[in-house]
Amino acid sequence: MWLVNRNANSELANQLSTAHIEQAKAAIKALSEYFNRDDIENERFDSQSVYHLVIHYRNQIEESKNRMSTDRNRLHSQVQGLRIKALASEREGVQVLLEQGKIEWRMAARLRQYINYSETVLIMDYQDEN
């Protein structure tokens, strides 16, 4: 089995999780079809063991789904953090340009208004998610 560094390549990790989900679904389906056949003596099998095997596959499905969801949430958090840092950098850039005399107070005020608007949108998006 391949070991995947989730931080290095989340697309590959998501594909691997999807493959695990499909593999587990196929295993459950194959078990169900096998035990529903007429030529199989179901009494030969320990029903508790079969039940635990199906539960094992269902747990694999849930773990893979949770892992994919966690990866998406982590990625979204990282993007939000970068947006916040970008806004801070924009503010700092406006201040530097103003102090160097490259822009006037009026232009700095308008740029800060745009930055404030972007920050408001970011906050509203965050509130809508939670």
Report domain extents, the chain.
10-129
Per residue in 35-57, pLDDT (tens digit) is 788 787 777 777 788 888 889 88
CA atoms of 18 and 11, how far apart (whole Å): 11
Q: Which residue has the tokens 């269902």?
A: 58
Q: How confident is the model at residue 9 (pLDDT cuts 50, 70, 90)?
A: low
CA atoms of 119 and 130, how far apart (whole Å): 17
CA atoms of 21 and 54, how far apart (whole Å): 13
The pTM of the full predicted model, rounded to 2 decimals, is 0.51
CB atoms within 10 A of CB 17: 22
